[in-house]
Chains A and B, each alone.
Chain A
């Protein structure tokens, strides 16, 4: 009897051991970055000395400009570090409402920003810091001679739009409706980069995307401005997240974005001033 119970105990221990090993493996895989906040307590200078990491969640279209601003911020405030998470605004919004440790959220549309504000996860009221305008991206040299939105409705032209569920698609839709044009694309792409890439790869003849995207693609596509785009200009709101781990630095970063310096970086990427 005793041997049997002893054996059972040992077996239970083995099982527990296996379970523990599995948990260990899991926890080892989830990289811990909790030790990033080494807050040094010295705040000697006039302006409060900033330190630690600022985590910025920003719309994918902001990537180039924000990375430039991040480096500038780190230079101005030695001891700080800016980390970014770029992605679709809606995904980022879902992450924040799901409890992601973000300090700053910069969205590509008020609608996606509303996801965060509606849940009460924004500190204060979001403010528009730039605007983005639609532009037609065509193949280099514009071989199909596209000059207006109406040209895209012609037969034989392969046009891609963003899906209506993402901001660039919603804006395109709004523009088409406002100008009473009916456009049947070959595809509704899942995001603006995917739409642009179809033109870069020459699979589509044209795409309706943001000015900033056309600019970022360089000479791989040619941009065609169209007047109707003024009817659907996208506002980009930015806000401090309510449970921001590092609110002081976050506020400073937002200030940088809205400063003249920041605006210069953003407009050079193709954004419009608010």
Chain B
């Protein structure tokens, strides 16, 4: 990406499978009315990040980052985002399958409800989670009475909050892939003696793997940056529920330089993980 400069970067930003790697013909033909807004859009997205890098307190950065709290928060963030992604996968993929492959009254409504956490302000999501799963919540009081489980103020609570916000991304992505996939492969599998579940597991799931992976990455990224629902539902305690975004927000109150330093760490880790995963999938398929 760096060697060939801008055109290559623009090409890789088009996304999608990068099979025909060199297509000079199409590159030459990007119409100006598309190219200019595209470049403006790119600048709009990258400029704030660039400013963060430019204005970062590089001289004091080593000191800012040596505190154990930073690494504690980072470790917790990665752990919770990964767990939330796993939870989303386990619950979200079957949900996507049901939405894509079955027909029941009110399916449109259900699909709309599934996407609700996307538009709900995360803080409201956190309050809603408290009302549902909190110590006094609609379901939470039973969890407490029967199992002695309380989710607020625990690391599990962070995972719940992040999964709540991130799962819709996964469901939407997987459902779209499922709709595009040919359902007759499942039929072929059943004629070979596979139950519908075996057909799903051994045929459909491998076929939609790229879509599931893309959805998981989206969900992971969303979970990693989650702030509002987490701080509202799980609170803020270093090492237990204080993830990077919380730590950045609170540092911003007293020490903006530390906040910028923390953000840079989060950025760097995200870029490394996302870029690494993406390349791996592209070559794998």
Contact = CB atoms under 8 A, between A and B. Distances in A.
Interface string B230-256: 011011111001100010011101110
A187 interface: yes
Interface string A156-187: 00101001111000000000000000000111
Given A166-B253, A202-B135, A189 B32 contact: no
A79 interface: no
Nearest to A184: B237
Nearest to B253: A165
Interface in B185-201: none
B152 interface: yes
A186 B235 contact: yes
A188 B254 contact: no
A188 B31 CA distance: 53
A22 B33 CA distance: 13
B36 interface: yes
A114 B125 CA distance: 35
B131 interface: yes
A18 B37 contact: yes
B253 A90 contact: yes
Interface in A187-220: 187-190, 194, 198, 201-204
Contact of A11 (B33, B131, B251, B254): B33
A264 B220 CA distance: 53
Contact of B231 (A18, A22, A194, A204): A194
B235 A160 contact: yes
B205 to A, nearest CB: 38
A194 B37 contact: no
Contacts of B250: 163, 165, 188, 190
Nearest to A164: B254
Nearest to A198: B235
A14 interface: yes
Given A90-B253, A163-B253, A202-B135, A190 B236 contact: yes
A22 B38 CA distance: 13
A163 B250 CA distance: 8
B131 A201 contact: yes
Greatest chain B CB density within 10 A among A165, A188, A194, A203 is at A203
Interface string B3-35: 000000000000000000000000000011100
A19 B36 contact: yes
A239 to B, nearest CB: 20
B130 A203 contact: yes
A166 B250 CA distance: 8
A126 interface: no
A188 B238 CA distance: 9
B190 to A, nearest CB: 48
B136 interface: yes
B225 interface: no
A15 B235 contact: no
A110 interface: no
Contacts of B254: 90, 164-165
B153 interface: yes
B40 interface: yes
A188 B236 CA distance: 5
Contact of A19 (B40, B234, B251): B40
Complex A-B, nearest 4 residue pairs according to Cβ-Cβ distance, in ascending order: A187-B235, A186-B153, A165-B254, A165-B253
Given A22-B40, A160-B235, A186-B237, 16 more contacts: A14-B33, A88-B253, A163-B250, A165-B255, A186-B152, A186-B235, A187-B234, A187-B236, A188-B235, A188-B236, A188-B250, A189-B231, A190-B231, A198-B152, A202-B134, A203-B135
Interface of B: 31-33, 36-37, 40, 127, 130-131, 134-136, 152-153, 231-232, 234-238, 241-242, 246, 249-251, 253-255
12 contacts: A12-B32, A18-B33, A164-B254, A186-B152, A187-B153, A187-B237, A189-B235, A201-B130, A201-B131, A202-B135, A202-B136, A203-B130
